[in-house]
Amino acid sequence: KAGVTQTPRYLIKTRGQQVTLSCSPISGHRSVSWYQQTPGQGLQFLFEYFSETQRNKGNFPGRFSGRQFSNSRSEMNVSTLELGDSALYLCASSLIGGTAYNEQFFGPGTRLTVL
Amino acid sequence: DAKTTQPPSMDCAEGRAANLPCNHSTISGNEYVYWYRQIHSQGPQYIIHGLKNNETNEMASLIITEDRKSSTLILPHATLRDTAVYYCIVRGPGSGAGSYQLTFGKGTKLSVIP
């Protein structure tokens, strides 16, 4: 079974631009979560989508948004990029989300650099 | 905030058992302990989880104290490929109904020495 895939793997943007990252979960998984990883803050939870609805949200500004499609694929968008948005963005999928034991499978991440 | 405390780094000789401790003194009765690891520049990888009983799988063993305030992840025969950052996570509820999230702390950087 194919793992979680994320595209693109690397991205360079400039301040003020916007960016869209994509995540394809493992087949059959309906929950997709996004995390941001930086050297200073570590791994931080952004949001979770389940059945096309945002079910859980971390403490990030509204510039960070996401959506999930009917095939469970998810995208996250960051508008008005800031230098501090440079990070590894990780996507994780799981079968049904948080109602029971729920192992999350992580993708390789998208490395975003903001210049 | 993460509800766990781990040593920032540990060394282990190749072939020996690696014992990684984790304190979670404020854990609630229905919260699971999860362990993930992250090899440099890759996404985190699930290792094992438990509630109150000791658990074992093909990767590791998890020993949880009777009061559930701490746990130890054991890699029985560490190899160089086990060099990674190991995260101990107490899975708590998220903001949405029926939702949970993983709150990662800083983890333990395990270095396996040849």
Instruction: Give residue B102's pLDDT.
Output: 78
Parallel, antiparallel or unpaired: strands B108-113 and B9-13: parallel
Instruction: Give residue B97's pLDDT.
Output: 61
- Which whole number is the average pLDDT over B69-89? 96
The pair of structure tokens assigned to A44 is: 């931080």
Residues of B in contact with A44 (CB under 8 A): 104
pLDDT of A84 strictly over 90: yes
How many CB pairs lie under 8 A apart between chains A and B?
67
Instruction: Give residue B17's pLDDT.
Output: 97
- Which whole number is the average pLDDT over A19-43? 94
- Which whole number is the average pLDDT over A44-65? 92
Q: List the single best residue of B33, B36, B99, B103 to mutate versus A (max A Cβ within 10 A).
A: B99
Alpha carbon distance A109, A10 (integer Å): 9
Instruction: Give residue A99's pLDDT.
Output: 45
Instruction: Give residue B16's pLDDT.
Output: 97
Residues of A in contact with B106 (CB under 8 A): 42
- Which whole number is the average pLDDT over A45-70? 93
Q: What is the mean pLDDT of chain A?
A: 92
- Which whole number is the average pLDDT over A16-45? 94
Higher local confidence (pLDDT), A6 or A96 = A6
* Residue A67 main-chain phi, psi, to 5 deg: -160, 165
> pLDDT confidence of A22, banded at 50, 70, 90?
very high
Is A104 an 8 Å CB contact of chain B?
A: yes
Instruction: Give residue B21's pLDDT.
Output: 97
Amino acid at position A52, single letter: E
Alpha carbon distance A22, A8 (integer Å): 7
Please tell me whether the peptide bond between B93 and the residue prior to it is cis, using omega within 30 degrees of 0: no
Amino acid at position B17, single letter: A
Q: Which residue in A43, A48, A107 is closest to B94 by CB distance?
A: A48
The pair of structure tokens assigned to B114 is: 């040849």
Contact across the interface for B94 and A44, Cβ inside 8 Å = no
Alpha carbon distance A38, A44 (integer Å): 8
pLDDT of B76 strictly over 90: yes
- Which whole number is the average pLDDT over B57-69? 95
> pLDDT confidence of B95, banded at 50, 70, 90?
low
pLDDT digits (tens, 9 = 90+) for A87-113: 999 999 988 755 445 688 999 999 999
The answer to whether residues B18 and B82 touch, using CB atoms and an 8 Å cutoff, is: yes
The pLDDT > 70 percentage for chain B reads 90
pLDDT digits (tens, 9 = 90+) for B37-56: 999 878 999 999 998 889 99
